Amino acid sequence: MQGNGEHHANDQRLPATAHATGLASPFDRAAWFDLLESYGFAGQGRVDAQGRAGAVTAWLPLRIETPGDVAGLTNWYSFAIRPLYTGDGDRGPALRALFHNLRRSAAHLTLYPVSDPDDLIAALRAAGWWVKATPSGDRHWLDLGDMDHDAWWASRPGALRNTVQRKAKKGIVDIQLLTEFDDGSWAAYEQIYAASWKPDEGHPALLCAFAETEGARGNLRMGIARIDGIPVAAQFWTVEDGTAFIHKLAHVEDSLKASPGTLLSAALFRHVIDIDKVKRVDFGTGNDAYKRDWMNRHDPLWRIKAFNPSRPAAWGPAFKAFARSLLRKEN
């Protein structure tokens, strides 16, 4: 199917109308990749790789790590990277065309995090790449199916439900939920994060810009928990296409006995399930133990490394990658 590909100039940009297969995500929009680029995450340059077959064009925003070495345009806030499309029709040939075109300029490609690797792996191999896919990280999510809030809550561990019931009865924690961006509330979030157990925020200005954009789209869901008027816990979520995405959460350590973070999570889950009518909640990347209390699904995330056999620069890295795999199998 390589002959179906058309080569396009690298300066063509991902159009705003491009979308992914399946449910939409905030990490599938041209605006997200533009934001990453504007805050310096495009390495030595951005390339919106593309391939066309029939009426369909496949797109994949990439950053140049070094000449000939490209990777998905992501950062630590990204839940996933996946191809985007414009036009109607069979998307498989367009994706194969994209990877065929990319062989003209790239020796090595890395994609991470990938949640559904099969189509990418198949298209890369069909386009002539050597491909190595490795589980790398975890993803916890909630599949509500036909459950309403009460049915889901009844399925959660008894210790979690008892904690929420006991702490809520004490009335110590006040919960505020917001569906619009508010400078004061965001300042409270940053204050809480700075006082939390978490490391320094990777890029607070980018995160704030992202939250403001999502607020303008009507997608933001934010919660602040206060004790005696003082902010002690905060969470930043968004909702889109029947899914709630949990982006950031933090609480002040010395408030832990009152469980403000747990109470805030419970309030936000109730809101997105009862009010927003979501059917999925995505807790993003990471295998933190507490996520299992709230979620009922767990999948690995994948790192895809692809090597272009027509480029001598790829041969050494490919040999090392596949040799390590063979050694592990033998041992």
The domain locations on the chain are 2-139+299-330, 146-278
Question: Predicted confidence band at 246 (pLDDT cuts at 50, 70, 90)?
Answer: very high
Task: Assign 201 a pLDDT band (cuts: 50, 70, 90).
Answer: confident
Architecture of the structural domain at 146-278: 3-Layer(aba) Sandwich (3.40)
Pairing state of beta strands 230-240 and 220-227? antiparallel
Whether 68 shows a pLDDT value over 90: the answer reads yes
Confidence grade of residue 324 (pLDDT, cut at 50, 70, 90): low
What is the pLDDT at residue 330?
46
H/E stretch holding 186 reads helix 183-194
Q: Do domains 2-139+299-330 and 146-278 have the same CATH topology?
A: yes
Say if residues 24 and 69 touch (Cβ distance below 8 Å).
no
Q: How confident is the model at residue 328 (pLDDT cuts 50, 70, 90)?
A: low
What is the number of residues in the chain?
331
Residue 6 has pLDDT above 70, yes or no: no
Share of the chain above pLDDT 90, in %: 87
What is the gyration radius of the CA atoms in the chain, in angstroms?
Answer: 22
Average pLDDT, the chain: 93
Q: Which DSSP symbol is given to 61?
A: E
- Give the pLDDT band of residue 300 (cuts 50, 70, 90): very high
Bridge partners, residue 307, by sequence:
108, 130
Above 50 in pLDDT, residue 3?
A: no
Phi-psi region of 200 (alpha: psi -120 to 50; beta: other; left: phi over 0): beta
Return the H-helix or E-strand segment holding 285.
strand 280-285
Question: 144-153, 154-163, 312-321: which has the minimum mean pLDDT?
Answer: 312-321
For residue 245 the two structure tokens come to 């995405």
Nearest CA to 115 out of 91, 79, 145 is that of 79
Output the pLDDT for position 326.
53
CB-CB contact of 46 with 62 (8 Å): yes
CATH number of 2-139+299-330: 3.40.630
What is the average pLDDT across 22-36?
97
Q: How far apart are CA 94 and CA 5, in angstroms?
A: 7
